[in-house]
A and B are shown apart, each in its own frame.
Chain A
């Protein structure tokens, strides 16, 4: 089997962003492989153990974060690691372009996969675009899947069950398995292993999303608890609306 795992950093670490006096600082040194992608990799490893094959890990992260998560993937068992250094996959405007370029790259390299898997996240719709362009089956937000491709997708009340068909692209949640831990020898070997770097032509400024910070004008509200009989209930309603009270 030929499997591609598209991995990204997880934002679970509390210290990824810290703020002090209205200044937000980004700490990439706290970013490691996301839990969903660890599970994705674990599933790929289980498949390889049963059916044989190879796993290629891809990352669209930048700088040291890309290196770190690809090292993790290799330490866990990925055979190759590739980082795409152009663009931001989280940007909806760039997603289509980057996916097109990735597919072109895969075709040029003669890489044809039975399975492409990525951990589910808020921007993992790129997986659907990949499935569409490569004419692969697509299964989204799987909560369980076994090595015979029987899957489960948890609904609000109930579970959707079925069987996947290759070739396929899937996004998974972390509940599909408990990922293994690497060992230190493997981590050391991975740190000294080669990561292929791929870059595409950069999109010009007009074709990427721009961040605009909106300063909210805070509304001053006065609750006259002494004279207004409804003041208390108004205050409680506001606090509940803002999620401060439940």
Chain B
């Protein structure tokens, strides 16, 4: 995740690698904190589910943060690998494919949430889930629109 941050920036690759290394360390620490939060879930009605959520996402963040930090450390020490990574990142065709893929993925996600709303609304017992998903979809669409406007302004 943080390995692709600033990929459109004109900063030197070495600077980007340093920023991403520290971001990786930060994300790993956040992941560790989130995983440790699972020990404070006694008051939740479904502690086992939330424990799994916190441990799973915290572990994922921890792992991805460590991998990012290690990769960036390797790039800072090995100029040849850094050059290859920079080429992969700055290659115009790769960027074009990434942008098109991200665009398609966003619309697939929005469609999937809408489908989930339609499915959960068929059962009265899932009313709360339906309302939650509707608010999630509305929030996601607002964020999508805001991100789009900000990116249009920046780029």
Q: Are A and B interaction partners?
A: no
